[in-house]
């Protein structure tokens, strides 16, 4: 068989996407495993989305991650979707093969793997409060709801989104009690075992915490999906109150490892990918 000389191309599709950390972790993994591949950023405006997706194979692109605002919009262009992507209603990973484009979602599993493998947190019988009802929240909520919690309460400034998400959870995941919270008080954080921030509040270092300190307590695990800096205001006050805390870098790493396995069939080199992420954040003075 002739030796393949051109590298496979992978990348992240988004608009904007130029601040993505995915290239550093995937390129480090390809290098470590001596895979002849490169991971790039594809910042594609909406009017070019259809053409970009149709030409993936022609352009030697073997797989992509999908980020804001395309996680739902790519679905009509796929030939197949995984059970997880169907359940969440969004795709963050596409594999290109001779059979066409197949969509997956690794966000929810990435989150769950991180909290269980690193923090030994099992959602079973737990009371869970979620801030935000957008795309990331949906992936996280579906995975939590599938794992036997006692209760999930969700709050978002956009009440329609909360209503839609709760209706989806009631339909897909029988068992837990679901609460459509009309305010942060109604999330019942003071009784919760896990609080997840899935809003963008905290992405700017000057952002305040959405949660009054009086609701935070020992025994509460506070997980902020934001990974651009290690300590958001929410995580700072949670730490002060004796909570276990995590930012979202682990979720980013685990969802990336799962995508890598889907594309290459190989186990992702976790330590190498994590080191690449931390180094990049340090260099950009974000750590
Ligand atoms: P999204 O779809 O825009 O959802 C965010 C939701 O938060 C929106 O419904 C938004 O409402 C709501 N919101 C905004 N301000 C709020 C406030 N003050 N109080 C309550 N709700 C508020 O975004 P996403 O894709 O889910 O991402 C959310 C966050 O997760 C981002 O910071 C993102 O970087 C992070 N994330 C991390 C990972 C990871 O791997 N760690 C993966 C995905 C996402 P409006 O739309 O009305 O503003």
* pLDDT value at 2 more than 60: no
Structural domain span for residue 175:
109-247
163 and 135 assigned to the same domain: yes
Residue 1, domain member (yes or no) = no
Total tally of structural domains belonging to the chain:
2
Nearest CA to ligand 1 atom 32: 200
CATH assignment of the domain containing 89? 3.40.50.10860
Residue 222, domain member (yes or no) = yes
- What confidence tens digit (pLDDT) does each residue in 3-43 have? 556 789 999 999 999 989 999 999 999 999 999 999 999 99
Which of the four pLDDT bands, split at 50, 70 and 90, describes residue 230?
A: confident
258 and 168 assigned to the same domain: no
170 and 257 assigned to the same domain: no
CATH assignment of the domain containing 220? 3.40.50.720
Distance 33 CA to ligand 1 centre (A): 34
- CB contact set of 235 (below 8 Å; sequence gap of 6+): 202, 222, 224, 245, 246, 247
Residue 185, domain member (yes or no) = yes
Residue 228, domain member (yes or no) = yes
Average pLDDT value over all residues in the chain? 95
Residue 128, domain member (yes or no) = yes
179 and 232 assigned to the same domain: yes
User: Which atom of ligand 1 is nearest to 136's Cα?
Assistant: 26
34 and 152 assigned to the same domain: no
Percentage of the residues of the chain whose pLDDT score is greater than 70: 97
261 and 166 assigned to the same domain: no
118 and 240 assigned to the same domain: yes
DSSP letter for each residue of 7-72: PEEEEEEESS-TT-SHHHHHHHHHHHTT--EEEEEEE--GGGHHHHHHTTTTTTEEEEEE-TT-TT
Dist. CA 141–CA 88, nearest whole Å:
9
140 and 98 assigned to the same domain: no
- What confidence tens digit (pLDDT) does each residue in 233-262 have? 999 999 999 999 999 999 999 999 999 999
Any ligand 1 atom below 6 A from CB of 164:
no
147 and 218 assigned to the same domain: yes
- What confidence tens digit (pLDDT) does each residue in 123-182 have? 999 999 999 999 999 999 999 999 999 999 999 999 999 999 999 999 999 999 999 999
């Amino acid at each position: 068989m002739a030796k393949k000389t051109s590298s496979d191309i992978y990348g992240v599709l988004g608009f904007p996407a130029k601040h993505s950390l995915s290239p550093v972790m995937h390129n480090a993994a390809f290098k470590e495993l001596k895979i002849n591949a490169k991971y790039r950023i594809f910042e594609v405006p909406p009017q070019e989305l259809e053409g970009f997706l149709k030409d993936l194979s022609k352009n030697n692109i073997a797989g992509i991650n999908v980020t804001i605002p395309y996680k739902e919009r790519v679905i009509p262009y796929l030939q197949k979707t995984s059970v997880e992507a169907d359940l969440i209603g969004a795709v963050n990973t596409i594999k290109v093969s001779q059979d066409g484009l197949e969509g997956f979602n690794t966000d929810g599993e990435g989150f769950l793997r991180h909290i269980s493998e690193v923090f030994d947190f099992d959602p079973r019988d737990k009371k869970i409060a979620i801030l935000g009802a957008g795309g990331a929240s949906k992936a996280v909520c579906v995975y939590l709801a599938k794992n036997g919690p006692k209760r999930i309460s969700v709050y978002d400034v956009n009440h329609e989104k909360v209503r839609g998400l709760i209706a989806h959870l009631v339909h897909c995941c029988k068992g837990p009690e679901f609460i459509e919270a009309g305010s942060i008080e109604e999330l019942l954080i003071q009784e919760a075992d896990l609080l997840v921030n899935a809003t963008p509040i905290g992405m700017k270092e000057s952002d305040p915490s959405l949660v009054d300190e009086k609701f935070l307590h020992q025994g509460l695990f506070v997980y902020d999906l934001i990974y651009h800096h290690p300590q958001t205001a929410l995580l700072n006050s949670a730490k002060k109150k004796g909570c276990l805390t995590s930012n979202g870098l682990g979720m980013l790493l685990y969802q990336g490892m799962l995508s890598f396995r889907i594309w290459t069939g190989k186990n992702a080199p976790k330590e190498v990918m994590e080191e690449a992420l931390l180094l990049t954040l340090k260099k950009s003075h974000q750590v």
